[in-house]
Amino acid sequence: MTFSVRRAFHYDAVGMAEILNQIVQVGGTTAMQKPTARSVLIGWMDAHQGRNGWHVAETPEKQIVGFQYFEPNKKLPIEACDIASFVRIGAVKMGIGTGLFEATKIAARNVGYRWINATIRADNKGGLAYYASLGFETWRVDCDVPLSDGTPVDRISKRFTL
């Protein structure tokens, strides 16, 4: 699959919400359990201005096939940010996540971050493998963190030093 990576804009929120909501509907890989509206994604994009970054991967036909963002987290030190990655169902293992991460690394360094945290559900084998393939290393495990429906799931936090 041919794709390019670029900075995300508000108009991309429709395609990003579509990807995220398909992933939520299938279940098992994200802590999110309810659909997310385009307006909510725009709100996330606008939060933490100057301390976050959003990128999309799109095909030559302008179809969004993945997105990734980083943002501060008050539970992390000031020099660290959180990352979240989403790839369209059926388009995994095509280099989309790797391409997005190359843009994210540059943007996060430019903002002044020194490391990136990824927190992944322990039952998300694909997510754990993805972040490990990028060089993330486990630094913390939180046991039995409840999802919004109360289901306890371990969460593994992995760190990438910029």
For residues 149 and 143, give the distance between their C-alpha atoms in angstroms, rounded to a whole number. 16
β-pair type (53-58, 152-161)? unpaired
Q: How far is Cα 58 from Cα 139, in angstroms, rounded to an integer?
A: 32
Q: Under 8 Å CB-to-CB from 142, ≥6 apart: which residues? A: 119, 154, 155, 157
Q: Which residues contact 38 (CB under 8 A, 6 or more apart)?
A: 13, 14, 17
- Tens of pLDDT along the chain (162 residues) come to 899 999 999 999 999 999 999 988 876 566 566 778 999 999 999 999 899 999 999 999 999 999 999 999 999 999 999 999 999 988 878 899 999 999 999 999 999 999 999 999 898 898 999 999 999 999 999 999 988 788 898 999 999 999
CA distance 100 to 57: 7
Indicate the CATH number of 4-161 among 3.40.630.30, 1.10.3720.10, 3.20.20.120, 3.40.50.720: 3.40.630.30
